[in-house]
A and B are shown apart, each in its own frame.
Chain A
Amino acid sequence: MIQLEHVTKTYPKASRPSLDEVSVGIEKGEFVFFIGPSGSGKSTIIKLLLHEVTPNRGKVHVNGRDVTAMRSWKIPAFRRQIGCVFQDFRLLPNRTAYENVAFALEVIGKTKAVARRVVPEVLELVGLGGKEHRYPHELSGGEQQRVAVARAFVNRPLILLADEPTGNLDPDTSIEIMRLLDRINRTGTTVVMVTHDSNIVNQMRRRVIEIESGRIVRDQARGVYG
């Protein structure tokens, strides 16, 4: 599903590469943690998979397609197959939970009728039934992240990328979000999560890939934070 081959990425003006000759493969339906200290290059992986940055060397394959060679006009269609969740939620503050999710559908050309059918369903799935018409500031951090997960999942993407999704949440709320991601994973969606939350990694017992200074130092099938 995801294949990185000898990927090297050096940001302009950086003294050393964020990713250095990284090769890794992720199968369909897997749940993978990328862990490592700040600045280790783990977030760069998310950016590469979204085609927000391009590698200096190496190849990135997502769902059988070479992302590095993709023409820019094909990127939007490509991104529709990928859901994305971030530490800072990235919700639109002037739209309700329902509207935030519906917005993601409408801007890719789905009709309002489709949104009316699909959005309540997915909000129910993430446990926000009854809070559809709250604005982000009327929701707790965990609830906001649920809205973000609902938005990422509403298109039934093949891959869900999560960049420190629990970074702004307390431990209990974090575990609830992890349960949600786990449920999404069980529907067959590949989940790639970048984190440095050791509790969560230790509890989930999923594949752990540890990155340090841009290199993979550990890749364990049912790993702990270590």
Chain B
Amino acid sequence: MRLKYVMSEVMVGLWRNVTMTVAMIITMAVSLFMLGASGLIYTQVKDMKAYYYDKIEVAIFLKPEITDDQRASLEGELKSDPLVREVIYESKDEAFKKFQTMFADVPAVVDAVKPGQLPESFRVGLVNPEQYQAVRETYVGKDGVDQIIDQRNLLEKIFNILGAGQTGALVAASVMALAALLLVGNTIQVAAYSKRREVAVMKLVGASNWFIQAPFVLEAVVAGLLGSVLGFGMLAILKVVLLDGSLQDLTDLLTPLSWAKVLIMLPLMALAGTVVSSVTAWVTLRFYLRV
């Protein structure tokens, strides 16, 4: 009986003020969508770091006038360096071949460069890519070393863009969350007002506080759940339309975003939605249903 009573009260409550309920659900959905998106960007950046940091290398370009002795001692040093995972030597010929394949569809560029013009280099994989500075300082002034380039710099730029996107999404999520919060509070106030007679009688005859409050809190929880489902729907559409659709090329560059990772956002969003709305409702009731 009690459960049935509470549930029917919840449905009546949500219907009583449908426009408000819809507004509440939509703001909640957008907020949770932003939260989910920023969560996805976060895992994405983490995955990409794990994936690319294994592959990126530090390129130590050698001066054209380097002697064989200098090259050999440099290689020896690199190979015994504890920070270094692997060292690959790239000769001028190899560099040229790589260059040719890289720019195969732009013959003009290939023609402009002659074999031997490109510098030879050591391609160094680091044990921990974050320790680039230490490696750089060790080798930068050595005889025969020309330039040291960290490929990570390039990736950092991508990560910075993604990071900015994540921050933006989080800011938008919290602003929307604030709006959703106020809407939940307002809806609960309206609900409490329209049921003030019932509430007064309930208090008078000694209904327990939770029994009085449960329908209101559950109303907010149901709205929060609906909002999270809707927000998740937006996230799924984002994946299908943007990532798998028009931004396909970019997606290939990034590590693929699996459905599993998107799906994991659903319980997280639902949890955030229900916790935020129920706490708001409960706090509102503390002010509007004083015992």
Report A's interface with B, CB cutoff 8 A.
Answer: 50, 72-73, 75-80, 82, 84, 90, 92-93, 103-104, 106-109, 111-112, 151, 155
Contact = CB atoms under 8 A, between A and B. Distances in A.
16 contacts: A50-B204, A72-B291, A73-B209, A76-B207, A76-B291, A80-B205, A90-B201, A92-B197, A106-B1, A107-B207, A107-B211, A107-B212, A108-B207, A108-B211, A109-B211, A112-B1
Interface string B194-228: 00011011111111110110000000000000000
Given A90-B200, A93-B197, A107 B205 contact: yes
A92 B208 CA distance: 19
A79 B208 contact: no
Given A72-B291, A106-B5, A109-B2, A90 B197 contact: yes
Contacts of B209: 72-73, 76
B204 A90 contact: yes
A104 to B, nearest CB: 4
Contacts of B211: 107-109
Contacts of B200: 90
A93 B200 CA distance: 13
A188 B5 CA distance: 34
A79 B1 contact: no
Q: Which of A79, A111, A155 has the most CB of B within 10 A?
A: A79
Given A73-B209, A76-B209, A106-B1, A84 B197 contact: no
B202 to A, nearest CB: 5
Given A73-B209, A77-B206, A108-B206, A103 B2 contact: no
B1 A80 contact: no
Nearest to A107: B207
Interface residues of B, number: 18
B201 A92 contact: yes
Interface in B177-209: 197-198, 200-209
A112 B205 CA distance: 17
B205 A151 contact: yes
A111 B1 contact: yes
Contacts of B207: 76, 107-108
Contact of A80 (B201, B206, B212, B291): B206
Contacts of B198: 92, 103
Interface in B147-201: 197-198, 200-201
A154 B206 CA distance: 13
B201 A155 contact: no
Interface in B34-67: none
Given A109-B2, A112-B1, A104 B201 contact: yes
A103 B198 CA distance: 9
A37 B118 CA distance: 107
Q: Which of A92, A103, A106, A107 has the most CB of B within 10 A?
A: A107
A55 B94 CA distance: 93
Contacts of B5: 106
B208 to A, nearest CB: 5
A75 B204 contact: no
Contacts of A151: 201, 205
A11 to B, nearest CB: 15
